Structure 1
Amino acid sequence: MSVKIRLKRVGKKHYPLYHIVVSDSRSPRNGRFIEKIGSYNPHTNPPSTVLNIQHALSWLMKGAKPTNTVKSIFSKNGVLLKKHLLEGVRKGAFTHEESQKKFDIWYKKHRL
């Protein structure tokens, strides 16, 4: 079973809102999903995102593949950086404290 992290469209006609969900790749866009890990509203300026970073990291580390749009959202929220740092910890490149320090520096710089 291939697992994807993708957007599920909800909301009114001509005013879409999206839920970020983990689902089987064979299920339809608005069909069954395994877990809801966040939401995305493209109508605010800048677009607002509510995301459970720990659940997103958990699914990425298990091998779930994000779609291009979700990958962009994760990149802007630091999820992909955190995954990269955790893989470095797992391989022994640096310690967990060093990775957390690097992430905190990035977070303060980009998420004011």
Structure 2
Amino acid sequence: MAVKIRLARCGRRHLAEYDIVVADARSPRDGRFIEKIGNYNPNTAPSTIRLNEASALKWLFQGAQPTDTVKGLLSKQGIMLRKHLQIGVNKGAITQEQADEKFRLWQAERAQSITQ
């Protein structure tokens, strides 16, 4: 079974909001899903993304493939970077402390760029 992390449309006409869901690739866009892991609202001035990071990481490590849009959203939140760093830890390239420090530095740079 191929599993995807994708958007499911909700909200009213002309004011769409999206749920970020983990679903079988064969199910329809707004059909059955395995788990809802977040919400995305593109209608607010800075787009609002609420995401359960632990669930997203769990599904990525289990092999779920994000769609292009969801991959961009996960990258903005730092989930893809955290996955990349954790793979390095698992292979022994870096330690967990080094990975945590790199992620903390990335968060600080991102917060600084947003405020400017």
TM-score range, shorter chain: over 0.9
1:26-76: CA deviation from partner (whole Å, max 9, x where unpaired): 000000000000000000111010001111011001100000000000011
**1:97 CA drift (Å):** 1.1
Gap change, CA 1:58 and 1:111, over 3 Å in 2: farther
Unaligned runs of 5+ in 1: none
C-alpha separation in 2, matches of 1:7 and 1:58: 18
Q: Give structure 1 regions of 4+ aligned residues with deviation exceeding 4 angstroms.
A: none
Gap change, CA 1:50 and 1:72, over 3 Å in 2: same
- Give the equivalent residue in structure 2 for 1:39: 39
1:12 corresponds to 2:16: no
Within 5 A, what are the aligned runs for 1:19-98?
19-98=19-98
**1:108 CA drift (Å):** 1.5
C-alpha separation in 2, matches of 1:74 and 1:94: 23
C-alpha separation in 2, matches of 1:81 and 1:12: 33
1:102 corresponds to 2:102: yes
Residue identity in the other structure for 1:22: V
1:3-41: CA deviation from partner (whole Å, max 9, x where unpaired): 000000000011100000000000000000000000000
C-alpha separation in 1, matches of 2:36 and 2:14: 23
Residue identity in the other structure for 2:19: H
C-alpha separation in 1, matches of 2:7 and 2:111: 22
Q: State, as a whole percentage, how many aligned pairs show the same letter.
A: 54
Unaligned runs of 5+ in 2: none
- State the TM-score, normalizing by the size of structure 2: 0.94
Cα RMSD between the aligned structures?
0.8
**1:111 CA drift (Å):** 3.5
